[in-house]
C-alpha cells in the first residue's frame, strides 16, 4: 500500500449554493516519509491556472488539517505541492491534474509528491499483468493503456485525479499493433485492419486506409501527439523492418499519408512545437534527423551527419532543442546529442554527457531542460538516467517487467512510464 500523508488540505469554494469542501490528499511513494533524507518540513501549495500562479497555503509536512482560502466560483487549474527542506530548498514536488474545482465539491483530489530526481511507482496497480502495447492521455485526467490479453486485447484506464485505476475496461477481439488516441476515441491498426474505437462505450467501426500508405508499412509503429490535437503513427520506429511511411491523424479525425525522406528502423520520434514531427536515428548512412511539418506530406532531412547508433530515442526540451539518446555503437553506449530542429544548414549536433552503460530499447522523455532515458541495461534489467547539459545521473532502479513506454503529463513537470501493471512517475531534479 502507498502511504497517504493528508496535509489535510480543505479548499472552501464559494458558490450560489453555499460553500463546498474539497480535500486534497498528498500521497508519497510506498515506504517513504517526510523525514527521509532530504527531510521535508513544510508543504507549499500553489494554484496554477489561466490566471497565473499563486500560493494558496503553507502547511507543516505532517498529518493534520488546514483550511485553505476560499476560491472564487469557476476556479480551475492544477494544485502544485512543493516539499520544502533545509534552507528553504525545494526537495520534493508533485501536482494534481488540472480540474474545475466547482465540479469536485465533496470529492477528493490527489497529488503525488516525491523527491526531486527520483522515479517512483504511482499508487494503484491492476491485479492481472498484461503487456502494454501503447498508452495515451485521452483527456485531462484519464490515461488509457492498450494491453495484450490471451483473448485479444484490453483497454484499461487510470484516473490521474484520484491516482487509481478505474474499474471499467474494454475488451477487444484482436490486439492492435499501433494506437493513436485522443478526446475519447482511438484509432487502432494492425497489418490488415484500421478501425475507430469509442472509448466511452467500446463500439468500433472500420475505416478506410488513406491513399499513399499501406498498413503493412506502419503496423507496429509508435505514435507521437501534436500540440494541435493530431497524431502521427511512424513506421520508422518499429524494429521488424525499415519504413518511410507515416499515417497522420488530424485533430478532426481526418487521415492522410506522409513520407520521410529515408527508410528507417528503430528510430526515435518526438514532436517539437512550431516545427512538427522530428525523427531521429534509424539509419547509419543517412542524416541523423528528419522533420515533417504538421499538415504536410513530405519530410525534409537536416543537413547533418549520419547516426551510427543501432537504435535511438529523442525528446523535445523546453527550449525547443531535440535531445537524442540511447542505443549502442560497436558495443559502447551511443553518444547523447542535442539538435536544433529548425536548423537549415550545417546542423552539427551539440554533445551532452551520456550514460556509462548501454541503454537498449530506449525511451526518452523531457521535462524542462532535463530528460529521462529509460531502457534495458546489459543484464536485461530496466535502467534509467537523468540527462542534463552537466551530467548523466543514474536514477534508482525501476522494478518493472516488459518494455517501458512513456508519456509527458501536464506542465511538463512529471512523466509516467508504463509497463504491464505498473505506472511510474518521474520528478526531475532540475
DSSP line for 24-50: EEEE--TT--TTSSSP--EEEEEEEET
* Nearest CA among 219, 136, 182 for reference residue 406: 136
Over its length of 430 residues, how does the chain's per-residue pLDDT go in tens digits? 333 444 444 444 444 444 556 677 888 887 778 888 889 999 998 888 877 898 888 888 865 445 556 667 777 888 888 999 999 999 998 888 887 777 766 667 788 888 888 888 888 777 777 888 888 888 878 889 898 899 999 999 998 888 888 999 999 999 999 999 988 999 999 999 999 999 999 999 999 999 999 999 999 999 999 988 899 999 999 999 999 999 999 999 999 999 999 999 999 999 999 999 999 999 999 999 999 999 999 999 999 999 999 999 999 999 999 999 999 999 999 999 999 999 999 999 999 999 999 999 999 989 889 999 988 888 878 888 999 999 999 986 555 555 666 665 543 445 565 555 567 777 887 7
Strands 66-71 and 4-13, by their bridges, are parallel
CB distance 363 to 346 below 8 Å? no
3-state class (DSSP) for residue 267? coil
Helix %, strand %, coil % for the chain, to 5?
5, 50, 45
Spell out a b/e string for 378-393, using b for 16 or more CB atoms within 10 Å of the CB, else e.
Answer: eeeebbbbbbbbeebe
CA distance 121 to 269: 25
Helices (H) and strands (E) in the chain, counts: 1, 40
Which pLDDT does position 10 carry in this prediction? 46
DSSP line for 338-354: EE-TT--S--PPEEE--
Q: Which residues contact 383 (CB under 8 A, 6 or more apart)?
A: 355, 357, 359, 374, 375, 376, 377, 394, 397
CB atoms under 10 Å from CB of 185, counted, come to: 16
Q: Where are the strands (E) in 310-404, listed by range?
A: 313-316, 322-325, 328-329, 332-333, 336-339, 350-352, 360-367, 370-376, 382-387, 392-394
Spell out a b/e string for 413-429, using b for 16 or more CB atoms within 10 Å of the CB, else e.
Answer: bbbbbbbbbbbbbbbbe
Which pLDDT does position 19 carry in this prediction? 54
CB distance 143 to 136 below 8 Å? yes
Which pLDDT does position 88 carry in this prediction? 93
Longest Cα–Cα distance of the chain, Å, equals: 68
Q: Which domains does the chain have, with CATH numbers?
A: 4-116 (2.60.40), 121-427 (2.130.10.10)
Cα–Cα–Cα angle for 307, 313, 318, rounded to 5 degrees:
110
User: What are the distances in angstroms from CA 153 to CA 174, 188, 226, 358, 413?
Assistant: 6, 11, 26, 32, 31
Q: Can you read off the three cell numbers belonging to residue 360? A: 537498449
CB distance 102 to 74 below 8 Å? yes
CB distance 215 to 193 below 8 Å? yes
Amino acid at each position: 500500500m502507498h502511504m497517504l500523508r493528508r496535509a489535510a488540505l480543505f479548499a472552501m469554494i464559494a458558490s450560489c449554493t453555499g460553500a463546498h469542501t474539497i480535500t486534497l490528499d498528498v500521497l508519497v511513494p510506498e515506504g517513504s516519509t517526510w523525514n527521509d533524507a532530504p527531510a521535508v518540513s513544510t508543504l507549499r501549495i500553489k494554484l496554477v491556472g489561466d490566471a497565473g500562479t499563486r500560493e494558496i497555503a503553507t502547511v507543516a509536512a505532517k498529518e493534520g488539517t488546514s483550511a485553505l482560502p476560499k476560491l472564487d466560483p469557476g476556479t480551475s487549474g492544477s494544485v502544485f505541492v512543493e516539499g520544502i527542506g533545509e534552507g528553504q530548498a525545494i526537495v520534493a514536488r508533485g501536482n494534481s491534474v488540472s480540474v474545475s474545482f466547482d465540479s469536485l465539491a465533496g470529492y477528493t483530489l490527489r497529488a503525488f509528491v516525491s523527491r526531486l530526481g527520483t522515479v517512483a511507482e504511482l499508487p494503484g496497480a491492476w491485479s492481472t499483468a498484461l503487456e502494454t502495447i501503447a498508452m495515451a492521455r485521452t483527456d485531462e485526467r484519464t490515461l488509457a493503456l492498450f494491453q495484450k490479453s490471451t483473448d485479444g486485447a484490453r483497454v484499461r484506464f487510470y484516473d490521474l485525479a484520484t491516482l487509481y485505476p478505474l474499474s471499467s475496461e474494454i475488451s477487444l477481439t484482436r490486439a492492435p499493433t499501433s494506437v493513436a488516441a485522443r478526446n475519447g476515441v482511438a484509432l487502432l491498426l494492425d497489418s490488415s485492419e484500421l478501425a475507430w474505437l469509442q472509448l466511452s462505450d467500446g463500439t468500433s467501426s472500420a475505416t478506410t486506409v488513406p491513399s499513399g500508405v499501406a498498413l503493412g508499412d506502419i503496423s507496429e509503429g509508435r505514435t507521437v501527439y501534436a500540440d494541435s490535437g493530431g497524431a502521427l503513427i511512424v513506421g520508422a520506429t518499429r524494429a521488424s523492418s525499415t519504413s518511410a511511411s507515416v499515417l497522420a491523424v488530424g485533430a478532426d479525425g481526418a487521415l492522410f499519408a506522409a513520407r520521410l525522406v529515408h527508410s528507417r528502423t528503430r528510430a526515435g520520434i518526438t514532436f517539437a512545437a512550431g516545427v512538427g514531427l522530428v525523427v531521429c536515428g534509424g539509419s547509419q548512412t543517412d542524416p541523423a534527423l528528419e522533420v515533417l511539418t504538421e499538415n504536410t506530406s513530405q519530410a525534409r532531412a537536416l543537413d547533418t551527419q549520419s547516426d551510427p547508433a543501432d537504435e535511438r530515442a529523442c525528446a523535445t526540451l523546453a527550449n525547443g532543442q531535440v535531445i537524442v539518446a540511447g542505443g549502442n555503437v560497436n558495443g559502447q553506449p551511443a553518444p547523447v546529442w542535442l539538435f536544433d530542429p529548425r536548423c537549415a544548414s550545417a546542423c552539427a549536433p551539440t554533445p551532452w554527457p551520456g550514460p556509462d552503460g548501454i541503454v537498449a530499447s530506449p525511451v526518452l522523455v523531457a521535462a524542462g531542460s532535463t530528460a529521462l532515458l529509460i531502457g534495458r541495461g546489459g543484464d536485461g534489467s530496466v535502467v534509467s538516467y537523468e540527462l542534463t547539459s552537466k551530467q548523466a545521473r543514474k536514477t534508482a532502479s525501476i522494478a518493472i517487467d516488459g518494455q517501458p513506454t512513456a508519456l509527458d503529463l501536464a506542465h511538463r513537470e512529471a512523466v509516467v512510464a508504463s509497463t504491464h501493471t505498473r505506472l511510474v512517475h518521474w520528478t526531475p531534479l532540475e
